[in-house]
Amino acid sequence: MVEVLIVTVPVLLTVAYVTIAERKTMASMQRRLGPNIVGYYGLLQAFADALKLLLKEYVSPTQSNLILFFLGPIITLIFSLLGFSVVPYGPGVAISDFDLGILYMLAVSSLSTYGILLAGWSANSKYAFLGSLRSTAQLISYELILSSAILLVVLLSGSLSLTVNSEAQKAIWYIMPLLPVFIIFFIGSIAETNRAPFDLAEAESELVSGFMTEHAAVIFVFFFLAEYASIVLICVLTSILFLGGYSLTLLNLLDIVNSIDTFTYINIINYHILLSGPIMEGFLYGLSLGLKSCIMIFIFIWARASFPRIRYDQLMSFCWTILLPLIIAFIVLFPCVLNIFSFTSSNIFIL
């Protein structure tokens, strides 16, 4: 229970500050001020919004299925947070560091679709129902793109463990040999998290607020937290799969400099002792993963502020006629290239 709280509480605080970061970043890009009243520089705005929503009177539709109406947002939030249990914040630093972490994360992210479908259907509203159907079709379609892109990463690392994938990138990050796959994975991640320009499930101009049209007060907060928790989780997963995860190059660089520059030997030794302590080293591992994830979150926000929303038929056509043939072509091409150069990972044998 203590381990779960140590991970869950910082995740919820991160989600709160990601909302502030998004509003401030988009305001800067659009020549606005953004939230700047509550707290210093608007840093307490998320807590003020949460307090407002928690204190609001809850009104439920009279013809809705109340049990499923409440259960949908809870399911979505729980499965959005369960993915953080296998995230390695350092070597062996995870709630559950087992060999099928990637498969577990894909399964958990897929199950959150049931919460959206239940919430849209149980509201007894055509707008909410259409929004949930759109969201379900979109998530299922782009889940195929994400899992296919992850398959190529698994071919390189030879394991479904997130820790093994992080450790395997100490020499080179997978974004360099797999740059086209990373771009496809990033596009699929935006669509998987219902973010602009792919937020067709909650298109305000067409479906009011999509599957959460009838939800208000506390259970709306659950949907809000689940959306941003999914964004943080997918950015952490992208950092682990393509950007080295928690792996550091700083200590390796210090070792190289230490062996070359004799006149700075004493200073380098002092820095090395400072950075090689267990507490400081764990802090640097977490800082490395956090910085990479923050960069990915900023790119998510940047994409939302830059691109207009596309039509729903264009969204599905883009998935099935462009991205899927591309990723299947890479799945065929990549093992052939590995076989040509006689490269096989430790756990996968290419015939």
As a whole number of angstroms, the distance between CA 182 and CA 176 comes to 9
| Residue 272 and residue 224 share a domain | yes
d(CA 35, CA 87): 31
What long-range pairs does 274-277 form, CB within 8 A, spacing at least 24? 275/250, 275/251, 276/251
In whole angstroms, give the CA distance from residue 219 to residue 76.
Answer: 11
Residue 259 above 60 pLDDT?
no
75 and 51, same structural domain?
Answer: no
Domain containing 43: what range?
1-55
d(CA 136, CA 131): 9
Q: State whether 95 and 51 are in the same domain.
A: no
Instruction: Give the Cα separation of 299 and 135 in Å (integer).
Output: 22
178-203 pLDDT per residue, tens: 999 999 999 999 988 888 788 766 66
Does residue 12 sit in the same domain as residue 97?
A: no
The number of domains in the chain is 2
The secondary structure of 175-222, three-state, reads: CCCCHHHHHHHHHHHHHHCCCCCCCHHHCHHHHCCHHHCCCCHHHHHH
6 and 62 share one domain = no
In a domain, 347, yes or no: no
- C-alpha span between 348 and 351 (Å, rounded): 10
pTM of the model: 0.87
pLDDT in tens, 298-333: 999 999 888 888 888 888 899 999 999 999 999 999
Q: pLDDT: is 282 or 123 the higher one?
A: 123
Residues 222, 116 share a domain = yes
User: Model confidence at 267, in pLDDT bands (50, 70, 90)?
Assistant: low
If phi > 0 it is left, if psi is from -120 to 50 it is alpha, else beta; for residue 308 that is beta
- pLDDT tens digits along 232-251: 999 999 999 999 888 876 44
